[in-house]
Structure 1
Amino acid sequence: MDEGNETDVTYFILVGLSEYPRAQVIFFCLLLISYFIILLGNSLILFLIHYDSRLHTPMYFFLSNLSFLDMCYTSSSVPQMLINCLVKIPSISLGQCLAQMCAGLYFGVVECLLLAVMAYDRCIAIGDPLRYSIRMSPQLCVKLAVVSWVAAFLLTVVPTLTMPLEFCGHHMINHFSCEFLAILKRACNDLKFYEWLTMATSCLTLLAPFAFILASYGRILGAVLKMHSAEGRKKAFSTCSSHITVVVMFYGTAISVYMIPQDKTNQDQDKLISLLYGILPSMLNPLIYSLRNKDVKMALRKLMGEEKMSPK
């Protein structure tokens, strides 16, 4: 972004809950606990996948990407939120704010694409199990992961860096972090074209992957219903339930933030929804995938030395 365009405003004050001191103390405690759970849970998932050879499959390769992503995603904003809860004036420099905004957009879009890739993986695993290892080869898995990370960069960071933002007027941002839409509202130049571009990008990165996931699960449902074994149907539903839970939770909050017009008279509600979109899925992903996943629980028991040798 051109330095010449950064007029008047050199820092922002993130309002957050600074107007409610008692609520801010509770918020700090909840946020700290959530961040601890995110780091601990996702680190454990990453370690278990690396530690147990039984988890060296496409499904867990993509899950390891998701766990790493969730730690990066939350670390781009949560530490700053925690610091802001402890200071009287929760300020952030313009450069830090723009970097945080780009990081949040980037990691959010990577998650959208990764969840779509994971749906494709489950579709192949259940719809064509005999050729699963051939169709989802290690080379293809790596390519899909790389495409997700690179495509997200091209769709978010590159357009954002070319956006001619000019800031003037007051420094207040009614948000917990430098969220993209909140920053866009503070720009004092005409950004109509970029607002339309943002909407188009949101359709491409939110609605398109979500539609692909729904189509994938439609095919999965059809394949499951054709199974003659009740045990096979149960296993298939169990395998997919974790992923669909994460999808509903993540896309539900993300679409409500970026695709549904925000109520200007209820900005506090909007920023709380944005917070849920950024924190809740990252915190619950490890719990969902570990508590509902037999393979991960077996790997954890093996790690703790409690796995019992049992017949097939």
Structure 2
Amino acid sequence: MQRKNSTEVTEFSVLGFSSFGKHQITLFVVFLTVYILTLAGNIITMTIIHIDHHLHTPMYFFLSMLVSSEMVYTLVIVPRMLSSLIFHNQPISLAGCATQMFFSVILATNNCFLLTAMGYDRYVAICRPLRYTVIMSQGLCAQLVCGSFGTGLAMAVLHVTAMFNLPFCGTVVDHFFCDIYPVMKLCCTDTTINEIINYGVSSFVIFMPIDLIFISYVLIISSILKIASAEDWKKTFATCASHLTVVIVHYGCASMAYLKPKSESSLEKDLLLSVTYTIITPLLNPVVYSLRNKEVKDALRRVVGRSIS
């Protein structure tokens, strides 16, 4: 009988921020503003990188791929979230929920490994400067980008296949999008295997890139220690500062969102972490790489100057 009832579930109702009551309009305005700024910042960053030939380097190629992926990631989640703040408890079909989860996992994983590729690029630029153009060839850059996306695709297929082959009894997703844990709570059967898969995938997607980035920066620091000039120290640090800032915030939020124990989970905390990870972090890339990166600021001046002329 339970199996029969579970097969009748054809759509879910996404609660979103219904627990925040009268503050939903305020949240809508805030999130919409941040979303517009995120889209504008990412589009401007991609345009500058595309137009200015000084930025046609592996570092900015990876950055353009990252901001493109982040922008699509927000498109998968944020518009429906904004809609749910106005039209409460919006339904989403089973296929729609699976599709949203599929693309969110692909893009989130892709972003993690693109940051790793950027860390490797910084290692080669600082520790192997004379062979930089040879090592970081167009072919290798394309392989790193395809590898990042391919890893995300594999993780998404694993997650969605394991999740949506289970029977569902509940219909209310206590979240603002079809994330893994909120949907898993609606299953009728034991989800221990799914929890193991989720923890294993999350650990791989978070710790593997962190380890590789850590190794890259250990080698970078050991190389920096051999530099005697204070000016060279400053220049090297400026080269890595933007990437390090994004890495710390990105992986910090991801770790807290997907690796925290169930005992520490609460609706308010989960929503706050998810909002930070899905809305605030994508805004961080254009802000950090624009405000802290001299090359991008110089390129922006050149593009604006040519436009005015």
Is 1:28–1:82's contact at 8 Å kept on the other side of the alignment?
A: yes
Structure 2-normalised TM-score? Answer: 0.93
Deviation at 1:256, TM superposition (A): 0.9
Instruction: Map 1:268-279; keep pairs closer than 5 Å.
Output: 268-279=268-279
Runs in 1 of length 4+ with deviation above 4 angstroms? none
Deviation at 1:278, TM superposition (A): 1.4
Equivalent residue letter for 2:304: M
CA deviations 1:242-298 (Å, max 9, x no partner) are: 011101111001111111213466222112112211111101110100111111111
1:133 aligns with 2:133: yes
The CA RMSD measured in Å over matched residues stands at 1.8
CA deviations 1:200-239 (Å, max 9, x no partner) are: 1112111111111112111111111211221111011011
Equivalent residue letter for 1:167: F
Deviation at 1:306, TM superposition (A): 7.2
Q: Which residue of 1 aligns with 2:169?
A: 168
Is 1:38–1:70's contact at 8 Å kept on the other side of the alignment?
A: no
Q: Which residue of 1 aligns with 2:258?
A: 258
Deviation at 1:90, TM superposition (A): 2.5
Is 2:34–2:283's contact at 8 Å kept on the other side of the alignment?
A: yes
Distance 2:85 2:94 in 1: 19
Instruction: Map 1:79-98; keep pairs closer than 5 Å.
Output: 79-98=79-98
Partner of 1:92, secondary structure, is strand
Distance 1:203 1:231 in 2: 39
Q: Which residue of 1 aligns with 2:62?
A: 62
Structure 1-normalised TM-score? Answer: 0.92
Q: How many residues align?
A: 303
Q: Alpha carbons of 1:5 and 1:65: their partners in 2 closer, same or farther (altered >3 Å)?
A: farther
Q: Which residue of 2 aligns with 1:186?
A: 186
Q: Which residue of 1 aligns with 2:145?
A: 145
Q: Which residue of 2 aligns with 1:310?
A: none
Instruction: Map 1:150-161; keep pairs closer than 5 Å.
Output: 150-161=150-161
Equivalent residue letter for 2:110: V
Is 1:42–1:67's contact at 8 Å kept on the other side of the alignment?
A: yes
Q: Which residue of 1 aligns with 2:221?
A: 221
Distance 2:14 2:8 in 1: 17
Deviation at 1:118, TM superposition (A): 0.7
Is 1:105–1:180's contact at 8 Å kept on the other side of the alignment?
A: no
Q: Which residue of 1 aligns with 2:113?
A: 113
Equivalent residue letter for 1:53: H
Partner of 1:289, secondary structure, is helix
Equivalent residue letter for 1:166: P
Is 1:39–1:71's contact at 8 Å kept on the other side of the alignment?
A: yes
Partner of 1:167, secondary structure, is coil
Is 2:102–2:160's contact at 8 Å kept on the other side of the alignment?
A: yes
Equivalent residue letter for 2:11: Y
Distance 1:147 1:218 in 2: 24
Distance 1:33 1:5 in 2: 42
Structure 1, 44-53 or 21-30: larger mean CA deviation: 21-30
Structure 1, 217-226 or 285-294: larger mean CA deviation: 217-226
Structure 1, 110-119 or 8-17: larger mean CA deviation: 8-17
